[in-house]
Structure 1
């Protein structure tokens, strides 16, 4: 069969080219099997039961209704790390701009006119003295794909780095230098840092992670950067801390009415991952993830389903999305046994209230397969059944 991929926003052509024409069409059906999106608000965009998967060419998925997708049996993917270098480079730029008045000095120099331009420049430069990052301490909250890169870049600039991430993966922990100490508590990082930069996903648990109490623990005249997600920093508390002189500067990629037109706040319009390279990386990674799931049933980089991978070596593969309740595997395999069907290989994984089972078996007739799918879907807790042929 051919799968139709519906796209929203502008998706890099390199990503679309990853779908071979013999297996895929792009935006050719009213009932697509998958969606490839960037910033499209899926809370306001209805997607039907035909949609097996949604891939976000980027990291944040707050524009996707995850509970609705899970209930529909729709796997949601993101592309972690695809824009990590782009965000890192922007954070480094904002660190430098927080120490050196580059923009103001360039604007002043642009207005100089007359025969004594050189003399005026020399006299005026003292008004734009800055500080250096060398020897200063930066606290990096979140040591994942972006945070670990920022930590290494800051260390290369001669900064002392303190990391904090209670949920760091083994993969990212191995990539971090042993020279980068990690704080046991957030308060420890805040108390020691001249600069604090945030690189964690938004969750209900870390909403307003940086609030009045945390800001009061920071050094006088510290600089705070948020290039992670809106909602992690309480903006009212930041505005108050800036007014009181507790914070020297706040730089962020997320704007709101609370923080606009504040001389001590620098806002960029959500451009952290907006580079040509990052957009291509995200589109290609999203396309490859969709292909893997649609063609083999294997799940990687999902934000609402468990990671499940098994070599596809049998003629037929069944994939079942179901509620995570006791004895589901037993009920599924009993149906196969009653139909005298042998299982070649099987895997089952769960994530919260959702579970996913893949079963490899010998080829059966279309009539047998239709009967089997109907029997499996008659289990009340089963949400979706797919049959894939090698």
Structure 2
């Protein structure tokens, strides 16, 4: 019997790689002669680059770039093979780089993300995948684009810095200084939200509060973003509000789509493609996946459903071993998941479950493999 372990991280407790080592220990206890393999997976959010690097034996490339408030930060992208890069915008422009007191989307910029993209291009990577979750910015991607040579001007002809507060001021856009390698490269954006750029479900009102915006600031940013949307439509002849996902990362999704001609794709589907997941399924009897909590949202671009769908095509059963199950988890049965189990073994507080996460996971894994043993013997 051969197993493939492909779980997401249990955020804050168990990494994707650690789930594999615990599963391997449990599998050997029950099936001493079994074979197993594992692949780190992520859905385009935190850990995406590391998952792809691990699966493809890539490398981290570190660069000093501008953080969300301009101070220098160390960020990295992943280089895979020849000419391919994958990066997380959160590494350069993410919320974790700021404490709560520093969060202010009027003054944050995605400039560092553009610097990281530029670094990958200049290092010879002309196929670039960008995960855009976890941003600290609401600048419509202007900061990122400025790092790549685009210039934004107000009505007086003064060049803008590309902060969130500049959205309401931009009048014209000059792309004549665009970095020449941009035209030669192919960009993929890993985006699992469908929010438009503006409106009640747009970038500002959906994500602005977590980035530090108070109600007054939200209204100002939304007015600015609506103005920016009109400038983009006048420039490109496209209303980005008709395209799902353009509101991701404070409007960076719209910027990458229009200026870089990027393709917006599901994060998990992009990751599974990058790590050549189907090739890992050769000879596999059962796949084990999982995440911290599985519920109805797991069916929409998350690791569990992504893995399930790929295995379903090859008629390989998949077990989801997750920290907990929530409402709508049963919808995963329609997405290739054969069975689901939880790591908790009785009523307990969340804090207790987190504190004993590895112990509970290993115990649940042993129970899961013993159930598989019964099925094998029927």
| Shorter-chain TM band | under 0.3
- Work out which structure has the larger RCO, using CA pairs closer than 8 Å and 6 or more positions apart in sequence: 2
TM-score by length of 2: 0.27
Larger helix proportion, structure 1 or 2? 2
